[in-house]
Amino acid sequence: MYIFIKKVFLLLISIMKKAIIVGASSGIGLELARVLVRNDYLVGITGRRKNLLEELKKENPLKYFVKSFDIKDLSANEKNLNELVIELGGLDLLIISSGTGSVDADLCFEIEKEIIDTNVSGVTQIAIRGFNYFKKQNFGHLVVISSIAGLRGGRFVPSYGASKAFQINFLEGLRQKSRHDKLNVTITDIRPGFVDTAMAKSPLKFWVAPASKAAHQIFKAIKKKKNVAYITKRWVFIAYIMKLIPKWIWERG
């Protein structure tokens, strides 16, 4: 009887969808992990704070797989991801939710460099690793949490908006590459406005959404395989207005 139950369990595990969320220790990434588990995914969760990842795992020990690492460590990212994919038994969905940003009124290079190392170098390396993995298996879905801040430059922390602009254009390039090469690889760019997380540091916050609501809308966008989604949905109007504002007005700050 035990052997039969074990075989049934292994069969169920084998047919479940597998996802990795890079940056799942808090905020949007954490809430997305919960949404995916509720929708019958096996979920690999990563982040720098292992204690927070272990706390999340306790909510459903059979569906969470923990791998703690910092995406700024470019020498170890591929090894960590490979190990997590093996633990999961495959990969269907890769979500990169990891990111950083701090208000930098004094324009400190170390703050700006931290943002670039995480949001540009780290995210790019992991995204390329995911894209090539999906290309090889001929299916998969890559999702990156960018930001509405990537649409225009911002004086509060210049590198943050610039790093998100990089992500937006990088994802557009990957999407073009996927289509040109006739790959079955979906690329989704999630552009949140203000979400109630530690990342919401701007002194001009409004329309702040709970992380759980943002995660629910992100999951809906993933299921629909959208190219771009603004979170929450009302931010599409702000994006439209931001694009229309003339440079001479915008640069007055």
Q: Is residue 13 part of a domain?
A: no
CA distance 71 to 136: 23
Strand-pairing partners, residue 96, are: 22, 144
Count how many domains the chain has. 1
One-letter amino acid at 169 equals N
Containing domain of residue 180, as a range? 18-250
Task: Let me know if residue 52 belongs to a domain.
Answer: yes
Say which residues have a Cβ less than 8 Å from residue 248's Cβ, sequence separation at least 6. Answer: none
Task: Tell me the two tokens of residue 243.
Answer: 């694009």
Residues sharing a CB contact under 8 Å with residue 98, sequence separation 6 or more, in sequence order: 22, 23, 29, 46, 47, 71, 118, 122, 123
pTM of the full predicted structure? Answer: 0.90
Say which CATH number the domain at 244 has.
3.40.50.720
pLDDT means over runs of 10, the chain (253 residues): 48 77 94 96 95 95 95 94 95 94 83 94 97 97 96 90 97 98 97 79 70 95 97 92 90 78
Residue at 5 is within a domain: no
pLDDT at site 192: 95
Catalytic residues: 160
Beta bridge mates, 117: none
Q: Which residues contact 167 (CB under 8 A, 6 or more apart)?
A: 119, 120, 123, 144, 146, 150, 189
- Report if residue 120 sits inside a domain: yes
Is 12 part of any domain?
Answer: no
3 lies in some domain: no
Q: Look at residue 10 and tell me if it is in a domain.
A: no
